[in-house]
Structure 1
Amino acid sequence: MKFASIFVIFICSTSMKSQGKSRPKPGCEYPPSQWCRSLEIAIECGVRKQCLELNATRSNSAVPRVEVTLYYGSLCPGSRVFLTQQLFPTWAVLHDIMDVNLVPYGNSQELPFGNCPFTCQHGQLECHGNMIEACILHSVGLFSGAFHVINCMESAVNVLSAAQPCLQLYAPTVMWDSVMSCVDGELGFQLMHENALKTSALRPAKTYVPWLTVNGEHTDDIQNKAMSSLFNLVCKMYKGGKPSVCTGTQKKVDRSFCWN
């Protein structure tokens, strides 16, 4: 009903601008919500021009975005390279057609007892880094600044030392103390437990990191293509109209200058 209302407003407004020339024909038997359902109906109802204009400006919101999920370890060298050199730059350019999920857990193991409920491939520092990033994702939100914070951390020489300044830079409204309260409290352990469940539920089972699923699917072919060029893979898999950056369509560049 919402689309139909918007459509009626669009048709009425454009018809008024054209001084009544595009009003539906008396013999049009279709309700306004159906006028643009096909070219034949649009012609019969005398709104062909308006429907073409509407279709040209309508977004591809009905087309599913390409969903990329990264299972990674915060101190895994391969994970860091992929996140900072492929995943984040690709999302920065293709965020209109792409969704991202981050699962910082990597090759960790959840232990049934002990003071440290997790053990990590690169030691307890990686466990700490995983939990910091999980808490940042929870506190900030991936697309509200957390992705930028984590990219900043993973790009740094020392991931853990960069956490606080990266948070202050990209999510200044979130206090570092609140992140550490999450890390040091039950919430942090709960977030890591959830990541453990997500990782253990993978089919096929994860055998290395970075481990990727695209639209919920992992195959050797998808992994290899993503590792080679995630940008090209996302462009190819998107089923809607391709953005100009995918097709290589050139846009007119402003070539103005500031002369002396």
Structure 2
Amino acid sequence: MKAALLLVLTVWLNVQYGGCSFPSSCSYPPSKWCSSLDSAIQCGVLKQCLQSNFTKSHQAADQVEVGLYYESLCPGCRLFLTEMLLPTWVLLNDIMSITVVPYGNAQEKTVGGKYVFDCQHGDQECLGNMIEACLLNKTDAAIQIIYCMESSTDVIEAAKSCAELYFPELNWDSIMSCVKGDVGNQLMHQNALKTQALNPPHKYVPWITINGEHTEDLQNKAMTSLFSLVCSMYKGPKHPACGGSQRRYRSYSLNE
């Protein structure tokens, strides 16, 4: 979607300042201009589509991988996710990838053949973790929905309306079936295993990894300015958006 918006902007600028015009034969909406060779030719954007695809193919191989291990109701996690991680990803998603793992400082035990979870901020946080795990399993729009949830006053209450906003086709009943059933239980167990496998073991949340690695230096740089960190670690051609700074957010320990 971002690539389509950038393409629209590029062509609009050409129209405004380059003296060109849209072909009258173009019958495709802007989001579909690069969907096929025919649409690109018909809408007069073949060159831009080819350049965009070439750039994306080269950038994808060198993307900086940012991992976030967090809890759905942790104040520091919510601030980092909504005011640092997602804004950075919106600007730099062609040179960075993100993986979010909702579990954090939760504890897991087995009762009657099922996994039972005890979360740092209570049952509502366990529910929030589970909803977000199911969203990540069900839709490619999960990150946007989670951002909407975490930036809302009530994370749980906002879940359904956020899903309707960012992915109207999503059947909310399927998410709740996941949350209440074996699939959600297994997804949360997998998140527990991923969190427990961290090396070094996590001591607080948000816990951030860069290209699979966690150090206090990387954590501090990510919390101070994830944007600058991603820009500095990207090995490909310098991204035009790189530069700037963002706020720092503190971490929350296991006992907070």
TM-score, scaled relative to structure 2: 0.71
Amino acid across the alignment from 2:92: L
Report what 2:142 is aligned to. 146
CA distance in 2, matches of 1:242, 1:193: 39
- Conservation of the 8 A alpha-carbon contact between 1:73 and 1:104: yes
C-alpha deviation, 1:113, in angstroms: 2.0
1:241-252 to 2 correspondences below 5 Å: 241-246=237-242
C-alpha deviation, 1:106, in angstroms: 1.1
Deviation by residue 1:133-187 (Cα, 9 ceiling, x = unmatched) = 000111112xxx1111000000000000000000000011111101000001000
Report what 1:93 is aligned to. 91
- Conservation of the 8 A alpha-carbon contact between 1:63 and 1:239: no
Report what 1:16 is aligned to. none
SS of 1:111's partner is strand
Report what 1:232 is aligned to. 228
C-alpha deviation, 1:123, in angstroms: 0.4
CA distance in 1, matches of 2:115, 2:126: 10
CA distance in 2, matches of 1:72, 1:146: 15
C-alpha deviation, 1:116, in angstroms: 6.8
Deviation by residue 1:15-72 (Cα, 9 ceiling, x = unmatched) = xxxxxxxxxxxxxxxxxxxxxxxxxxxxxxxxxxxxxxx99x9522474100001000
- Does residue 163 (structure 1) correspond to residue 183 (structure 2)? The answer is no
Report what 1:75 is aligned to. 73
- Report runs of 4+ in structure 1 exceeding 6 Å deviation: none
Match of residue 174, structure 2, among 178, 183, 186: 178
CA distance in 1, matches of 2:136, 2:127: 14
Report what 1:190 is aligned to. 186
* Overall identity of the aligned pairs, in %: 58
- Conservation of the 8 A alpha-carbon contact between 1:72 and 1:211: yes
Deviation by residue 1:100-134 (Cα, 9 ceiling, x = unmatched) = 00100011010122687000000011000000000
Report what 1:207 is aligned to. 203
Amino acid across the alignment from 1:184: K
TM-score, scaled relative to structure 1: 0.70
Which structure: greater strand fraction? 2
Q: How many residues of Structure 1 are paired with residues of Structure 2 in the alignment?
A: 191
Deviation by residue 1:84-104 (Cα, 9 ceiling, x = unmatched) = 000000000000000000100
Report what 1:102 is aligned to. 100
Structure showing greater radius of gyration is 1
Structure 1 residue runs of 5 or longer lacking an equivalent are: 1-53, 249-260
Report what 2:63 is aligned to. 65
* Most deviating of 230-239 and 112-121: 112-121
- Conservation of the 8 A alpha-carbon contact between 2:108 and 2:115: no
C-alpha deviation, 1:247, in angstroms: 5.3
C-alpha deviation, 1:242, in angstroms: 1.1
Using a 3 Å threshold, how does the CA distance of structure 1 residues 117 and 214 change in structure 2: closer, same or farther?
same
CA distance in 1, matches of 2:60, 2:70: 30
SS of 1:239's partner is coil
CA distance in 1, matches of 2:159, 2:54: 41
